[in-house]
Each structure stands twice: as structure tokens, then as C-alpha cells.
């Protein structure tokens, strides 16, 4: 197995939420290795812990126990500013609810991470326009999120996630608030970015359309990894499923 | 395509030229964001600013009244009563001014708390994009400072303006103008002239506004992004 270079590794990862008197174990000793450049889908029903796993890998929340390594660096050892640097330059985030800054235009949303990264305004503008063109919104750069459809907002979010050429794009239910066709477009876009830019894509989802493009699918249930399927094992399943749909 | 993210550790990668290693938020961009935030949420901004506006308008009216009373006493060629009467008046003015500021502060703390709370999700998103806690605090302080100063300046003008109209019949145009250089309050034994007192009131208004934003902004900034993103508003 050591032929692969792992960009994300988790070890004994656990997260316990305390709600009143009860303790909810959202993640239970999860060990997951993600290879550089692959497209991984983390599948599971809602409440299975996939969003919690997403938050841990993205450094958005701290684990109760265990460690997350990004490029073999223990995330718990990073200072606040190193963590901010990591979020800014190494990881791009995509959310179910798009989470664009409402007061900013599409272009301003895309350039914000570049401003944080220290790019000059001109460079950021050029790059931002280029990214918006890549996601098919070249003429919509001046629109506020409220003036864009859900699919268009998610495209802006994809462009924003790619702003600083991250090594990893983390997507939490990216198609959850989109209709079938728009969802499919976003999946295709993510796959295209994965192939062209060699970005590792980690997507928490329960959208079965995602299986189609994934290199590996991690099935998670009750905070534990149930099974991990490789691309070659999935193909047959997808064929069956598409047959069933029609 | 680009393989700059190919090898190397998270923080040890050699950067492309022109890109700094640390995370930054230039003041120009912060100011631009503040302006957008104020204009897009004009209703809330107006409420925040009007809290401080009312407080400072009242304060400057009280100060003007005190100064005008001094001028009137001089014009009437009478002394302003006995020594203890004067100090009683002074005490009442200080009390009124302190109350008006307190009311203004409570109002602005409340609206700042609201304006930070309704932006939890936005704050979480910004942190995901790499914003440091200090950026969040800085943006809210800028916003509170701008609103506080706008509200204070407007309040000072309106408060003093109304009193000028009220006093013009009693002490005349000359008396009203003279009031501006008349002593309005005593601080530590020295007389503060009206114009300086109102200027100070304006500065105090801006400071109070910033102080009111500081705590909620800092609270929101140090939240883990996941918690901030979970909140629904």
C-alpha cells in the first residue's frame, strides 16, 4: 500500500459532542488515508458523522481524540496563524449552503482568499475572472449572490475554493441544495478540476450521483467506517443503478 | 497543470514570487468591506448609529444649555446665584450627561450584539477562507467606529442646533454664538469651553461604539469555524 502518497491521514479520530447529559459519539476511532490527487466520496446517511469528519479534516473543529495529518503535519500542532494559512492556501471549502459572503459580488467572493494570501488587487482580479470563466460564469462576475441561482452560487463557491490553488478541496454535501441536473453539473465541474488541476477532492455526500466520478467511496455509519470501495469495484454497481433509474 | 502543490509539507512549500507567507488583510480592502457592510445593511446600520446619535445629541444639548446659561447670567449682569446653587446645577448636568451616555451605550451594545450574531455564518466562512481572528475583530471595530463617529457628529450638530434655536430668543444671536466659547462643564477644576466639550463628546461617542463592538466581535472571532457555520440566522 505504500506506493501511494497520502495527503490526509487520520488516526484514532474521535469526536464526542456533549448535549445536556448525553454524550453523542459522532466519530469513533476513524482511521482514513486519502491519496494525493484522488477523488474520494464519504458516503453515509445524515447523522452518520460525515460532516464531523469533514470538519476535522478541514481543521474547522478540534477532535476529542486522535489526530489528523495533512501532508504528514499534525494539525493539532499548528498555531492559530499556521492553521489560518493552511485554510487559506492548502484547502478549499465548498458547502451545502454555498456560504458566499452576501454583501460581496461573485468576483469579490472569489478574490477574498487571494487578498488574504497577499496577492495584489490586479493579480487577484485577473485570476478571479479566469476562475469564474472556468466555472462558466465569466459574464456574471459583478452579480451579488442573491442575484444568482443556486447552481450559479455553487459555481462561484467552486471558483472560490480553487482561488489559491489548494492541494485539497473539501466539499460538504455540495449538491444537497441543488436539483438533479445542476447537481450533476457541479459534480462534473469538480471532477474536471480534479483531473485538470490534480486537486484532491474529498466530498461528504449522500448523493449517489457522486459515486460515478469517485476514485474511492468511503461508506460511514454511526461514526465508523463501514467499508471502502475502490473504483474498479464500483463500476458494476453504477451500471446496475443507472439501469434501475430508467 | 500546476504542480506547485505537488510535494513538500503544508507550511514548507516554496511560494511563488510575489506571494507573502503570512495571511493579510490590507486596510484598503477592510475599509471597502466596511463600507459595503454598512450600505447593504443600511437599516441595521441606521439603528446602530441612531443609538449613539440620540445619546450624543442629548449630551450636546445639555452641554449647550449649560454654556448658554452662563452667557445669559453674564448678559443679565447677575451672578448665577450662590456658590452652592452653581455646584448643584453642575452636578445635575454631569448626572444627565452620564445617564444619556449610559443609555446610548446599552443601546449600541445591543445592536452590535445583534449585528455580530446574525453574521456568525459569514464569520465562519471568512475563517474557512483563511481569515485570522484579528481580521474579524478589525472589521467589526471599523464598522462600529465609522457608525459611532457618524452618529456622534450628527448627534452633536443636531443637539446643539436645536438648543441654538431654543436660545436665540432668550439671549440673541450674539449670545448664542458667544455660548460656543463659554464654559460648558468643569472637569477637575478647569472650565471646558462648549466647542471643546462637544468635540470631546463626539470622540467619546465613537469610543463607546467601538467598546460596545469589541466584546461580541472577539467572542465571535474565537469560535471554531465549524460552530460558527452551524448557526442558522
The answer to whether A117 contacts B1, with C-beta atoms less than 8 Å apart, is: no
- CA of B118, closest CA in chain A: separation in Å? 12
Quote the DSSP letter at residue B186: E
CATH topology of domain A37-58+80-245: Rossmann fold (3.40.50)
Closest partner residue to A101 (CB to CB) among B26, B122, B229 is B122
Chain B nearest C-alpha distance from A232 (Å): 26
Q: The dihedral of CA B172, B177, B178, B179: what is its sign? A: positive
Kindly state the helix (H) or strand (E) to which residue B185 belongs, with its residue range. strand B183-187
End-to-end CA distance of chain B: 40
pLDDT at residue B10 tops 80: no
How far is the alpha carbon of A246 from chain B, nearest alpha carbon, in Å? 37
Q: How many CB pairs under 8 A join A and B?
A: 117
Between chains, do A85 and B29 touch, taking CB under 8 Å as contact? Answer: no
Mean pLDDT of B148-166: 94
Q: Looking at the predicted structure, is the pLDDT value of residue A112 above 70?
A: yes
Distance from CA of A148 to the nearest CA of B (A): 17
pLDDT given at position B233: 55
Residues of B in contact with A111 (CB under 8 A): none
Distance from CA of B23 to the nearest CA of A (A): 5
Confidence of residue B18 (pLDDT cuts 50, 70, 90): very low
Q: What is the pLDDT of residue B92?
A: 81
pLDDT at B156: 94
Beta-sheet pairing, A216-221 with A224-230:
antiparallel
Cβ neighbours of B127 in A, within 8 Å: 84, 87
Residue A187 has pLDDT above 60, yes or no: yes
Chain-wide mean pLDDT for chain A?
Answer: 90
Q: Compute the CA torsion angle B182, B186, B187, B191 (nearest 10 deg).
A: 40
Looking at beta carbons, which residues of chain A come within 8 Å of B133?
80
Supply the Cα-derived Rg of chain B in whole angstroms. 24
Structure-model confidence comparison of residues A183 and A232, the more confident one: A183
**CB within 8 Å of B29: residues ≥ 6 apart:** A115, A121
How far apart, in whole angstroms, are the C-alpha atoms of residue B190 and residue B185? 8
User: Are residues B5 and A165, on separate chains, in Cβ contact within 8 Å?
Assistant: yes
**pLDDT higher than 80, residue A84:** yes
Nearest CA in chain A to B225: A60
What confidence score (pLDDT) does residue B15 get? 44
pLDDT in tens, B49-102: 988 898 899 889 988 988 888 888 888 765 555 555 666 777 787 788 788 888
- Does B81 lie at the interface with A, CB-CB under 8 angstroms? no
Question: Can you tell me the ipTM of this complex?
Answer: 0.87
User: What is the Rg, in whole angstroms, of the alpha carbon atoms belonging to chain A?
Assistant: 18
Nearest CA in chain A to B42: A103
| B102-124 b/e (C-beta count within 10 Å ≥ 16 → b) | eebbebbbebbbebbeebbbbbb
- For residue range B27-41, list pLDDT tens digits in order: 888 999 999 889 888
Which H/E stretch holds residue B84? helix B83-117
**Contact across the interface for B3 and A198, Cβ inside 8 Å:** yes
pLDDT band with cut points at 50, 70 and 90 for residue A183: very high
pLDDT score, position B86: 65
Distance from the first to the final alpha carbon of chain A: 38
Q: What is the pLDDT of residues A139-153, one digit of tens each?
A: 999 999 999 999 999
Which residue of chain B is at minimal alpha-carbon distance from A160?
B129
Judge contact between A211 and A237, C-beta under 8 A. Answer: yes
Residue B91 forms contact with A (CB below 8 Å):
no
Amino acid at each position: 500500500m505504500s506506493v501511494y502518497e497520502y495527503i490526509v491521514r487520520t488516526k484514532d479520530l474521535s469526536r464526542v459532542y456533549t448535549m445536556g447529559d448525553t454524550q453523542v459519539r459522532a466519530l469513533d476511532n476513524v482511521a482514513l488515508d486519502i491519496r494525493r490527487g484522488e477523488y474520494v466520496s464519504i458516503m453515509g446517511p445524515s447523522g452518520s458523522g460525515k460532516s464531523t469528519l469533514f470538519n476535522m479534516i478541514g481543521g474547522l473543529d478540534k477532535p476529542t481524540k486522535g489526530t489528523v495529518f495533512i501532508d504528514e503535519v499534525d494539525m493539532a500542532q499548528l498555531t492559530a496563524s499556521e492553521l489560518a494559512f493552511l485554510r487559506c492556501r492548502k484547502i478549499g471549502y465548498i458547502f451545502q449552503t454555498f456560504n458566499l459572503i452576501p454583501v460581496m459580488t461573485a468576483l469579490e467572493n472569489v478574490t477574498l482568499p487571494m487578498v488574504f494570501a497577499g496577492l495584489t488587487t490586479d493579480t487577484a482580479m485577473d485570476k478571479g475572472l479566469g476562475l469564474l470563466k472556468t466555472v462558466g460564469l465569466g459574464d456574471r462576475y459583478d452579480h451579488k449572490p442573491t442575484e444568482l441561482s443556486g447552481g450559479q452560487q455553487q459555481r462561484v463557491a467552486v471558483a472560490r475554493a480553487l482561488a489559491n490553488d489548494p492541494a485539497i478541496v473539501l466539499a460538504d454535501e455540495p449538491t444537497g441544495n441543488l436539483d438533479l441536473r445542476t447537481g450533476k453539473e457541479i459534480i462534473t465541474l469538480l471532477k474536471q478540476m480534479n483531473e485538470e488541476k490534480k486537486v484532491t477532492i474529498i466530498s461528504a455526500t449522500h448523493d449517489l450521483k457522486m459515486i460515478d466520478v469517485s476514485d474511492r467511496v468511503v461508506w460511514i455509519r454511526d461514526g465508523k467506517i463501514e467499508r471502502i470501495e475502490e473504483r474498479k469495484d464500483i463500476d458494476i454497481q453504477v451500471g446496475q443503478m443507472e439501469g434501475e433509474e430508467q | 497543470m500546476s504542480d506547485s502543490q505537488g510535494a513538500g509539507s503544508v507550511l514548507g512549500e516554496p511560494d511563488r514570487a510575489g506571494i507573502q507567507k503570512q495571511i493579510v488583510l490590507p486596510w484598503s480592502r477592510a475599509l471597502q468591506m466596511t463600507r459595503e457592510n454598512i450600505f447593504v445593511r443600511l437599516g441595521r446600520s441606521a439603528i446602530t448609529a441612531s443609538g449613539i446619535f440620540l445619546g450624543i445629541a442629548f449630551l450636546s444639548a445639555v452641554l449647550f444649555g449649560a454654556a448658554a446659561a452662563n452667557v445669559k447670567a453674564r448678559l443679565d449682569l447677575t451672578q448665577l446665584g450662590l456658590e452652592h446653587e452653581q455646584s448643584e446645577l453642575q452636578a445635575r448636568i454631569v448626572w444627565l450627561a452620564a445617564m444619556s451616555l449610559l443609555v446610548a451605550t446599552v443601546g449600541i451594545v445591543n445592536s452590535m450584539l445583534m449585528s455580530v450574531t446574525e453574521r456568525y455564518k459569514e464569520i465562519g466562512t471568512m475563517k474557512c477562507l483563511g481569515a485570522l481572528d484579528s481580521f474579524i475583530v478589525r472589521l467589526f471595530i471599523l464598522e462600529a467606529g465609522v457608525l459611532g463617529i457618524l452618529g456622534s457628529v450628527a448627534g452633536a450638530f443636531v443637539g446643539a442646533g436645536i438648543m441654538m434655536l431654543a436660545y436665540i430668543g432668550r439671549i440673541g444671536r450674539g449670545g448664542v454664538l458667544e455660548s460656543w466659547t463659554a464654559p460648558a462643564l468643569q472637569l477637575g477644576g478647569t472650565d471646558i469651553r462648549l466647542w471643546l466639550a462637544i468635540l470631546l463628546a463626539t470622540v467619546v461617542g465613537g469610543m463607546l461604539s467601538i467598546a460596545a463592538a469589541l466584546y461580541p466581535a472577539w467572542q465571535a472571532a474565537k469560535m471554531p469555524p465549524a460552530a460558527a457555520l452551524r448557526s442558522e440566522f
